[in-house]
Amino acid sequence: MFSAEIVRLSEGAPPRGRRSVRDAGRVTVAMPGRVGDQGARSLCRISDLSTSGARLKTFEPLVPNSVVMVRLPNQPPRRARVVWADEYTAGCAFETPIEQALLDALVAIYGFTPALPEIAMFRMG
């Protein structure tokens, strides 16, 4: 199954209510993860990551202001507060920030660079 998230923006405008790809140190990633209450039991997809938090795509809705356990790849679960939630997408703030070296290592493995639109490719050449 293939799915995509498409957001149409005005030229140069960031999405309202959302952070841009590298805003506040956040980096777009395509990373597997787990989320849950007492041990990060349910699979999720981490779609952006920073030292202070992450955006999660989940199979079950999360409740704003609740505390969950988030497991990053090859890491123990860490406590995070759900800052916002919109159906099956949620923004979480880690109780204890992750180290910059860990963020850099995860981005090196799971970092995601969207394809350039065809028009941009023609301008580059």
pLDDT for 76? 93
Which class is domain 23-110?
mainly beta
How many residues in total does the chain contain? 125
Residue 78 near residue 95 (C-beta atoms within 8 A): yes
Q: What is the pLDDT of residues 27-81, one digit of tens each?
A: 999 999 999 876 557 999 999 999 999 999 999 899 999 999 999 999 999 999 9
pTM for the full predicted model: 0.70
- Output the pLDDT for position 40: 58
Reported as a single tens digit per residue, the pLDDT across 6-19 is: 334 444 434 444 44
**Domain boundaries along the sequence of the chain:** 23-110
DSSP secondary structure letter of residue 85: E
Amino acid at 81: R
Identity (one letter) of the amino acid at 74? Answer: N
Give the pLDDT score at 87: 87
At residue 19, the pLDDT reads 43
In angstroms, the Cα distances linking 74 to 50, 91, 117, 118 are: 17, 21, 34, 37
Burial of 54 (0-12, 13-18, 19+ CB in 10 A): buried
